[in-house]
Structure 1
Amino acid sequence: MPQRTVPVSSRLGDVRYEIRGALSRRARELEAEGRQIIRLNIGNPGLFGFSVPAHVRAAVESHLDRSEAYCHQQGLQPAREAIAEREQARGAFGAHADNVFIGNGVSELIDLTLRALLNSGEEVLLPSPDYPLWSAATVLNGGRPRYYPCPASRGHLPDPDEIEALITPRTRALVLVNPNNPTGATYPRELLQALVQVAERHRLLLLSDEIYDNILYDGAEFHPLAALAGETPCITYSGLSKMYRACGYRVGWISLSGTPSRLTEFRTALDLLSALRLCANVPTQWGIAPALDGPDTMAELVGPGGRLHATRQAMLDGVAQSEFLDVVAPQGALYAFPAVRTEQMDAFDDEDFALDLLQSESVLVVPGTGFNIRERNHFRLTLLPQADEMAEVFLRIERCLQRQAARSGRARHVA
């Protein structure tokens, strides 16, 4: 008699995370066969030779003997005070150490905040393309994602009127990712102000993912949402993973701002959920205050002559020289989101292309549909390699696209 498999939650049927999905598993199989894969699927600085700033690492090492017990469920007091001071300096209304929660990365805190917020069937407004963890956490906590478009034709920026048209009585929150992953868009002040007005009119909670806040190129500006939101309830997400190249430390935080009385019940819910998982990783929390109060170690990387700036330029050059590609130049973050012009190809498919690129050219990217867009002609890659490696990547991408175009041309001729 065959054994029954263990059933799983039906909610997983609507959850995707292609960043570490089937293509990444296929890449591991190829690596096991001896292939060297250029992995551009994950923004993981440590794998590309970036290091945590020395003063941040030293702070963690020097406090190991004070890190062997659980800490408060919200996090270490000195760390929360440093976060609150930064938010206050940026103009966040009501920012205070008591309204800061530290987690094992921003990922955990996205899940906790949506768990605290959502009842079954309630809606969260998400950008399309999105960072897919937001969609997954919404679904896994019983909610329903509703996507507002951020197309390349608009510089990957949202339209406040389109967002407002999506709001129903069941809508609870508006999510912004700024600077944006996967597109690299940065949001102008006027746009953010308009989105705050939408949230206030409809009593929505603002959720602002700002993990890439000061990774900016060519004079782009970052505007913290909490400072513009004023008394409107807002949660700001940030951490050490990207700005401080400390992904493995798993340190993220949220700061609640806005009129305190409007956040009382929600803060109590977050406190309960934080207590249930006891606390975040203690040793690496000691790196938060030195990171926020210490020298700027990102400016030299993103400015002219810096490594990230050079790799971004190599990406832009590769697109400019391509017969098939367009891209909105990323103004921030660690990614680009090129589009394939499909006029020369019948039924181009981003997933088929990504698999072909991996198997024929040993380059791993993420299909654009993995970021919850309908168009099937985008892909995302990270800007973390050296510039010469990025140039090589685009030579391989072009070869792959030329082969696909040739096959498509033959298919049209035969038809």
Structure 2
Amino acid sequence: MSDLARKTENPIRSIWEGCKSTPNPSKKLITLQIGDPTIFKNFLAAPEAKVALRKALDHDNFSYMSCAGLETSREAVAEYVNKNYKGLTTQDFQPITFNDVILTSGCSMALEMCFRVLANPGDNILFPKPCMGYSTWIVGCGVEARYFNLDPNKEWEVDLEHLESMINDKTKAILINNPGNPCGNVYSKEHLLNILNVAERHKIPIIADEIYEFFTFPGVQFYPLAALSKNVPILTCSGITKRFIMPASRMGWIIINDRNHLLDSVRKGLFNLAGRNFVPNSTLTRALPEILRDTPQKFFDDNSKALFNHSLSAFSILKTCDGLTPIMPKGAMYLMVKIELEKFPNIKNCLEFSKILLSEQSVSVFPGFPCFNFPGFFRIVLTVPEELIIEACGRIKMFCEKHYKHDGDKYLKSG
């Protein structure tokens, strides 16, 4: 086995596929783990997207195309981005063109390409903490993952002082995930400008993981980082897998936002890397312009409203649970919950919490560690039908009532 294969592990997949705990056979399993909104069929792709796919299939001759994707599809992404950025940009924002777009096999490939084009062995990339398993794509390549803190007491804002303290002369990029997984954070315009100021002072580009772009709850505004940046180059990674509810489509893209031509060599490098992997599925590539153009705004609004209602239902129950503090999200499809582990003396950590919860209540959640490199928390997914979210959170409440030790209980840990 190669070093790369031996060192590569996706902590989320390892927990999901390798969990040795057995659900309680007397209770139906409710999974609040995987961010696939289609599992229960209450969130599905828009009918317009399926029509576009059928039409593309009829006209697809399955031939090779440009490594960066069909020019017409890249033009459609550029049009989609410029339309959505309208009214949110700085005055000197330069609209992107198809030459700024590279189509990829999902947002994951887009991110991996950005990591590989920017960093050499011995370099480092800064990731948020908590976060999904970005290090999966750099492990074995000699690139170091360094982590800056997000503050759960400030709606998961970046701890700017800590971020700056993590930068050194080997730092090649900062990754910003907004709206965020696992936290459901959506950053204000002011906070994003503060992040840009840090990057500009240190002359470091930003990789913007915006796969949940515009996937925010009612009344919450999403600001694309590239729309606000005047001097910091931004490599934006996104796609149709989340907002368009097409997780297995594996259709993503990289948008190169570099108005000052600071990353000309990186631009060339990305197109070089695209040549290693070719493009996504040809039928999806051909369908992309219609999917982007014809999916109605009502589809996005209805999904956001539904997920917001799910989040309210979960939050209202979890906030009454002994020893738990849920943090209300602003977008995406996740909610993080803090565990007062000192009040659960028979449970050592959040991983054990999740395993015992599964075995007793048949509710599966992802522990903050190792899944998101953030001990003392667990994450739930909000795409489960609302009645199942209510039932699952009710079971979590019963679990806490059983294991929580109040002050004065003789079994309560000291300190």
Q: How high is the TM-score relative to the length of structure 2? A: 0.90
Query: 25, 29, 54: which is aligned to 1:37?
Result: 29
**2-structure distance, mates of 1:42, 1:151:** 24
* Partner SS for 2:221: coil
- Which segment drifts farther, 144-153 or 58-67? 58-67
Which residue does the alignment assign to 1:293?
A: 293
Displacement of 1:156 in angstroms is 0.9
When you count helix as a share of all residues, which structure comes out higher? 1
Which residue does the alignment assign to 1:240?
A: 240
Which residue does the alignment assign to 1:320?
A: 319
Displacement of 1:82 in angstroms is 1.4
Whether the aligned pair in 2 keeps the contact of 1:200 and 1:232 (CA below 8 Å) is yes
Which residue does the alignment assign to 2:178?
A: 178
- Cα distance change on mapping 1:212 and 1:38 into 2, 3 Å: same
Which residue does the alignment assign to 2:98?
A: 97
Which residue does the alignment assign to 2:119?
A: 118
| Partner amino acid, structure 2, of 1:39 | T
**1-structure distance, mates of 2:74, 2:231:** 21
Displacement of 1:391 in angstroms is 0.8
| Partner amino acid, structure 2, of 1:278 | F
The aligned runs of 1:261-276 (5 Å cut-off) are 261-276=261-276
Which residue does the alignment assign to 1:3?
A: none
**2-structure distance, mates of 1:213, 1:247:** 15
Whether the aligned pair in 1 keeps the contact of 2:56 and 2:287 (CA below 8 Å) is no
Q: C-alpha offsets along residues 289-318 of structure 1, whole Å, 9 cap, x if unaligned? A: 223323111102223xxx222211111111
Whether the aligned pair in 2 keeps the contact of 1:366 and 1:380 (CA below 8 Å) is yes
**2-structure distance, mates of 1:248, 1:308:** 20
**1-structure distance, mates of 2:2, 2:355:** 28
Displacement of 1:166 in angstroms is 1.4
Displacement of 1:188 in angstroms is 0.8
**1-structure distance, mates of 2:220, 2:112:** 30
- Which segment drifts farther, 17-26 or 99-108? 17-26
- Cα distance change on mapping 1:354 and 1:140 into 2, 3 Å: same
Displacement of 1:159 in angstroms is 2.6
Q: Which runs of 4+ in 1 moved over 6 A?
A: none
- Cα distance change on mapping 1:391 and 1:266 into 2, 3 Å: same
Displacement of 1:175 in angstroms is 0.5
| Partner amino acid, structure 2, of 1:319 | L
Which residue does the alignment assign to 1:329?
A: 328
**2-structure distance, mates of 1:208, 1:125:** 12
Paired positions, count: 401
Whether the aligned pair in 1 keeps the contact of 2:68 and 2:278 (CA below 8 Å) is no
Whether the aligned pair in 2 keeps the contact of 1:325 and 1:340 (CA below 8 Å) is yes
| Partner amino acid, structure 2, of 1:76 | L
- Cα distance change on mapping 1:116 and 1:413 into 2, 3 Å: closer
Whether the aligned pair in 2 keeps the contact of 1:27 and 1:37 (CA below 8 Å) is no
Gaps of 5+ in 1: 1-6
Q: C-alpha offsets along residues 348-397 of structure 1, whole Å, 9 cap, x if unaligned? A: 410001111112211111100134445x3200111001111101111111
Which residue does the alignment assign to 1:55?
A: 48
Displacement of 1:246 in angstroms is 0.4
Displacement of 1:400 in angstroms is 2.2
| Partner amino acid, structure 2, of 1:53 | A
Whether the aligned pair in 2 keeps the contact of 1:24 and 1:364 (CA below 8 Å) is no
**1-structure distance, mates of 2:101, 2:400:** 48
Whether the aligned pair in 1 keeps the contact of 2:4 and 2:139 (CA below 8 Å) is no
Which residue does the alignment assign to 1:81?
A: 75
- Which segment drifts farther, 282-291 or 242-251? 282-291
Q: C-alpha offsets along residues 171-190 of structure 1, whole Å, 9 cap, x if unaligned? A: 01011000111011111111
| Partner amino acid, structure 2, of 1:279 | V
Which residue does the alignment assign to 1:216?
A: 216
Q: C-alpha offsets along residues 66-117 of structure 1, whole Å, 9 cap, x if unaligned? A: 2511221111222211111233341453622112111111011111111111
Which residue does the alignment assign to 1:363?
A: 363
The aligned runs of 1:88-167 (5 Å cut-off) are 88-89=82-83, 90=85, 91=89, 93=94, 95-132=96-133, 134-167=134-167
Whether the aligned pair in 2 keeps the contact of 1:103 and 1:252 (CA below 8 Å) is yes
**2-structure distance, mates of 1:120, 1:110:** 17
Whether the aligned pair in 2 keeps the contact of 1:127 and 1:147 (CA below 8 Å) is yes
Identity of aligned residues (%): 25
Give the superposed CA RMSD.
2.5
Displacement of 1:208 in angstroms is 0.5
Q: C-alpha offsets along residues 259-304 of structure 1, whole Å, 9 cap, x if unaligned? A: 363222111111111111122211112332223323111102223x
**2-structure distance, mates of 1:242, 1:398:** 30
Query: 65, 72, 83: which is aligned to 2:66?
Result: 72
Which residue does the alignment assign to 1:20?
A: 13
Q: C-alpha offsets along residues 138-175 of structure 1, whole Å, 9 cap, x if unaligned? A: 32432111111112122211132321121100001011
Which residue does the alignment assign to 1:302?
A: 304
Gaps of 5+ in 2: none
**1-structure distance, mates of 2:18, 2:262:** 45
**1-structure distance, mates of 2:413, 2:349:** 20
Displacement of 1:232 in angstroms is 2.2
Which residue does the alignment assign to 2:38?
A: 46
**2-structure distance, mates of 1:128, 1:51:** 30
Displacement of 1:16 in angstroms is 4.5
- Cα distance change on mapping 1:84 and 1:11 into 2, 3 Å: same
- Cα distance change on mapping 1:313 and 1:381 into 2, 3 Å: same
**2-structure distance, mates of 1:179, 1:310:** 18
